[in-house]
């Protein structure tokens, strides 16, 4: 019986490896459009591009992104965002909304100890409060979230996935952020960043 089970397991592993070997590598730009491998490598050589790799059912997907990304929401998108945020807390008429986004545990944020990341520093939190910025702490998965000061900041789940779909269309390492003005102009930090980056984004959107 054990021999039969072992043979069955080996066959499954063999088929999995064989199937993976038949998968094609596919490459995508920052708009998730398919590009050639040469185009993909040309972007990486520019130095300000990073990529995520995912094993999907039918392919290995390599997707480019830039850590600092800018854009503008349409009127409809801005309305969807504000409606979603109203369900998570107070939303005043201030010019600036700040979203800190936790995608779930990964190799970057998986340390099992209380975070010393400067986004939780008192001077930053006081600045946000003093200026009455709309500030939201949003998570997709709460695994490991207990190490990111839930008593200090009010983490809310992205239940309707509006925030994820608007700004964070794939899993970027660590955390990400969005700073948005009242007209829908936004600046994203995709991946590692700190309080100094948020401050610069606010300055740029309010100058």
From residue 53, alpha-carbon distances to 59, 60, 169, 203 in Å are 10, 7, 14, 33
If pLDDT is split at 50, 70 and 90, which confidence band does 207 have? confident
Write down all domains in the chain, each with its CATH number in brackets.
2-65 (no CATH), 68-206 (3.40.30.10)
Q: Which H helix or E strand runs over 186?
A: strand 185-190
Name the residue among 147, 174, 153, 156 with its Cα closest to residue 84: 156
Residue 24 to residue 36: CA distance in whole angstroms: 12
Residue 68 CA to residue 94 CA, distance in Å, equals 23
Confidence category of residue 9, pLDDT binned at 50, 70, 90: very low
d(CA 101, CA 186): 14
**Inter-CA distances, 33 with 28, 55, 59, 66, 67, Å:** 5, 17, 15, 15, 18
Helical (H) or strand (E) element with 62: strand 59-65
d(CA 133, CA 115) in angstroms, rounded, equals 23
Best CA proximity match to 99, nearest among 21, 30, 155, 22: 155
Tokens of 34: 């398919």
Give whole-number Cα distances, 72 to 28, 160, 178, 179, in Å: 22, 21, 11, 11
Contact 86, 162 (CB under 8 A): no
Given a cut of 90, is residue 2 above it in pLDDT?
no
Mean pLDDT, range 101-126, rounded to an integer: 94
Minimum mean pLDDT range among 13-27, 74-88, 153-167: 13-27
Does position 5 have pLDDT exceeding 50, yes or no?
no
List, for residues 162-190, the tens digit of each pLDDT value: 999 999 999 999 999 999 999 999 999 99
What are the pLDDT digits (tens) for 121-165?
999 999 999 999 999 999 999 999 999 999 999 999 999 999 999
């Amino acid at each position: 019986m054990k021999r039969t089970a072992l043979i069955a397991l080996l066959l499954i592993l063999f088929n999995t490896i064989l199937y993976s070997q038949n998968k094609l590598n596919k490459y995508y730009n920052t708009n998730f459009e398919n590009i050639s491998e040469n185009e993909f490598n040309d972007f990486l050589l520019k130095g300000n591009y990073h990529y995520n790799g995912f094993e999907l059912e039918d392919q290995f997907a390599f997707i480019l992104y830039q850590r600092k990304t800018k854009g503008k929401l349409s009127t409809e998108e801005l309305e969807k965002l504000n409606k979603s945020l109203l369900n998570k807390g107070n939303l005043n008429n201030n010019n600036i909304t700040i979203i800190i986004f936790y995608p779930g545990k990964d190799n970057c944020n998986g340390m099992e100890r209380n975070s010393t990341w400067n986004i939780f520093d008192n001077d930053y939190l006081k600045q946000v409060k003093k200026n009455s910025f709309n500030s939201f702490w949003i998570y997709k998965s709460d695994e490991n979230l207990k190490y990111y000061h839930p008593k200090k900041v009010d983490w809310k789940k992205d239940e309707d996935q509006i925030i994820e779909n608007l700004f964070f269309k794939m899993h970027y390492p660590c955390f990400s952020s969005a700073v948005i003005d009242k007209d829908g102009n936004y600046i994203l930090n995709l991946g590692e960043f700190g309080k100094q980056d948020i401050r610069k984004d606010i300055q740029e959107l309010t100058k």
